[in-house]
């Protein structure tokens, strides 16, 4: 278990909630029948959805459970009014059209969207389970239907004395990481209004994920191999031997379920100093994060150029920010590393990210369609995440909505076990979380990686950055 600000992160298999009576919500038989007969919709799956469905199908064919669920819980005061919560859940599902579709997977090139044309037909109903053991609760959560089923989302509550725990388990095909910033206030405002004796409140109009998918495909269909965005992606691939970057540390044979390790990189004072250094060099905090990723790879591998693959939210309009769905992309960054100058490196990192933001709208799948000589990576690409919880859309959620809620996020432990680096700036610290396959070689590598990463951040914050090596850090630690 690790703490990231006001949120606890842990494996779902380590989830041992306090005892209580359980109620879950799933579709009525009539709703399932309606979904089964849903007509084909001309709106294609988004590129992220299509990649997810292909991956799930490939893993399922091998008998491997793929990591796919977004699982979160938080606490609400009082006795749950099941009738009111049923209304709130159904209103939410009808309001957001990401929950109106499912996909018929014919083959990897033929994925048909089917959409319930009347959202009022969607009806989730409560089921009372009584008290359940931790293992039974975990099993109920993990039994959330797969992404080829319409109802690949579930909700639960666990009633305790004086409060209840609200739980969600939703397949990634429906949402992305910003979803809690939409769901939590909607559930809270609507539920509070109803149990307070009021009428359902009027919420701002939700954005349409289907409209987003249409806009995405219209834009991507207009591109050719000569389009500037595609040419920039091709240049990135070709600079990295025709494919995407590999993991900078050894993960052994890659076996083991996905686990995570965390370390505070900077305390509050050091975080402010780190930002001051970045700003004085003509960059921002985010550029410092990318520069440190480049510098640690230089210290680990000797690489003079860093190829990063940065996950980013690509919402850009007011409608996008009111849309639930998978609206993320990847920014390719290329950073020439000057081991003797943090300033040169951070300016290059910031410039590469800023100029590459537009490229995040072009998914890897489309690049490979237009440039088939490039190679899809054989292993999962190491991803770099940077989240600043002091800026939207996360700031309001963290500072106003999560206080006192005992919010928790759970990792489902499925395959593939990736190597992801998540650097989060919090109110009082900067923290790194690394996801990795849980085997002895990978665990030792990640432990060493985090130690060196902290060393890089501290040296930058203290304005004494100079290149070092893993061995030098180890000797310093043992002295």
Same domain, residue pair 107 and 227: no
pLDDT tens column, 422-463: 999 988 999 999 999 889 999 999 999 999 999 999 999 999
Same domain, residue pair 328 and 187: no
Query: Which pLDDT belongs to residue 301?
Result: 93
Please report whether residue 387 resides in a domain. Answer: no
* Domain edge (last residue) among 186, 213, 240: 213
Domain count, the chain: 2
Please report whether residue 407 resides in a domain. Answer: no
Three-state secondary structure of the chain = CEEECCEEEEEHHHCCCCCCEEEEEEECHHHHHHHHCCCEECCCCCHHHHHHHHHHHHHHHCCCCECCEEEEEEEEECCCCHHHHHHHHHHHHHHCHHHCEEEEEEECCEEEEEECCCHHHCCEEEEEEEECCHHHHHHHHHCCCCCCCCCCEEEEEEEECCEEEEEEEEECCCCCCCHHHHHHHHHHHHHHHHHCCCCCCCCCCCCCHHHHHHHHHHHHHCCCCCCHHHHHHHHHHHHCCCCCCCCCCCCCCCCCCEEEEEEEEEEHHHHHHHHHHHHHCCCCHHHHHHHHHHHHHHHHHCCCEEEEEEEEECCCCHHHHCCCCCCEEEEEEEEECCCCCHHHHHHHHHHHHHHHHHHHHCCHHHHHHHCCCCCCCCCCCCEEEEEECCCCCHHHHHHHHCCCCCEEEEECCCECCCCEEEEEECCCEEEEEEEEECCHHHHHHHHHHHHHHHHHHHHHHCCCCCCCCHHHHHHHHHC
Please report whether residue 467 resides in a domain. Answer: yes
Same domain, residue pair 262 and 209: no
Q: What is the pLDDT along the chain (479 residues), one digit of tens a residue?
A: 566 666 778 888 888 988 999 999 999 999 999 999 999 999 999 999 999 999 999 999 999 888 999 999 999 999 999 999 999 999 999 999 999 999 999 999 999 999 999 999 999 999 999 999 999 999 999 999 999 999 999 999 999 999 999 999 999 999 998 888 788 888 888 999 999 998 888 888 899 999 999 999 999 999 999 999 999 999 999 999 999 999 999 999 888 888 889 999 999 999 999 999 999 999 999 999 999 999 999 999 999 999 999 999 999 888 888 899 999 999 999 999 998 899 999 999 999 999 999 999 999 999 999 999 999 888 778 999 998 876 655 555 555 566 677 888 888 888 776 789 999 998 899 999 999 988 999 999 999 999 999 999 999 999 998 766 544 544 444 44
* Domain edge (last residue) among 183, 213, 243: 213
Please report whether residue 250 resides in a domain. Answer: yes
* Domain edge (last residue) among 193, 213, 233: 213
**Domain at 27, CATH number:** 3.30.559.10
Same domain, residue pair 336 and 441: yes
Residue range of the domain that includes 183? 2-213
Please report whether residue 405 resides in a domain. Answer: no
**Domain at 293, CATH number:** 3.30.559.30
Please report whether residue 413 resides in a domain. Answer: no
- The residue to which tokens 């005892």 are assigned: 19
Entry pTM: 0.92
């Amino acid at each position: 278990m690790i703490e990231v600000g006001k949120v606890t992160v842990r494996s779902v298999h380590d989830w041992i909630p306090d005892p209580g009576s359980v109620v879950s919500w799933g579709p009525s038989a009539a709703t399932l029948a309606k979904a089964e007969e849903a007509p084909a919709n001309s709106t294609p799956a988004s590129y992220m959805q299509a990649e997810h469905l292909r991956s799930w199908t490939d893993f399922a064919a091998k008998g491997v459970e793929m990591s796919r669920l977004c699982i979160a819980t938080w606490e609400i005061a009082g006795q749950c009014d099941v009738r009111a919560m049923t209304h709130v859940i159904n209103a939410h599902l009808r309001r957001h059209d990401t929950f109106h579709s499912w996909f018929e997977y014919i083959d990897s090139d033929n994925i048909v969207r089917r959409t319930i044309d009347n959202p009022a037909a969607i009806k989730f109903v409560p089921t009372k389970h009584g008290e359940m053991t931790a293992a039974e609760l975990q099993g109920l959560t993990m039994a959330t239907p797969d992404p080829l089923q319409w109802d690949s989302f579930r909700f639960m509550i666990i009633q305790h004395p004086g409060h209840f725990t609200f739980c969600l388990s939703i397949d990634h095909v429906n949402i992305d990481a910003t979803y809690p910033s939409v769901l939590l206030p909607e559930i809270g405002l609507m539920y509070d209004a109803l149990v307070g004796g009021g009428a359902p409140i009027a919420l701002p109009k939700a954005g349409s994920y289907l409209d987003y998918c249409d806009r995405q495909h219209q834009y991507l269909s207009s591109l050719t191999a000569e389009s500037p965005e595609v040419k920039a992606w091709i240049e990135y691939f070709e600079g990295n031997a025709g494919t995407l970057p590999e993991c900078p540390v050894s993960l052994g044979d890659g076996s083991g379920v996905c686990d995570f390790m965390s370390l505070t990189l900077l305390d509050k004072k050091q975080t402010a100093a780190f930002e001051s250094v970045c700003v004085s060099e003509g960059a921002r905090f985010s550029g410092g994060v990318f520069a440190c990723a480049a510098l640690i790879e230089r210290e680990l591998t000797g690489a003079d150029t860093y190829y990063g693959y940065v996950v980013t939210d690509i919402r850009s309009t007011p409608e996008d920010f009111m849309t639930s769905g998978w609206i993320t992309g990847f920014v390719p960054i290329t950073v020439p590393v000057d081991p003797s100058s943090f300033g040169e490196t951070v300016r290059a990192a910031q410039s590469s990210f800023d100029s590459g933001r537009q490229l995040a709208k072009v998914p890897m799948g489309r690049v490979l369609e237009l440039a088939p000589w490039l190679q899809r990576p054989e292993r999962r690409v190491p991803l770099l995440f940077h989240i600043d919880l002091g800026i939207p859309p996360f700031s309001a959620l963290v500072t106003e909505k999560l206080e006192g809620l005992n919010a928790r996020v759970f990792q489902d432990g499925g395959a593939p076990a990736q190597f992801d680096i998540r650097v989060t700036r919090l109110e009082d610290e900067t923290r790194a979380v690394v996801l990795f396959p849980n085997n002895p070689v990978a665990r030792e590598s990640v432990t060493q990686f985090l130690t060196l990463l902290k060393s890089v951040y501290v040296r930058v914050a203290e304005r004494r950055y100079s290149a070092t090596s893993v061995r030098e850090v180890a000797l310093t630690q043992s002295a």
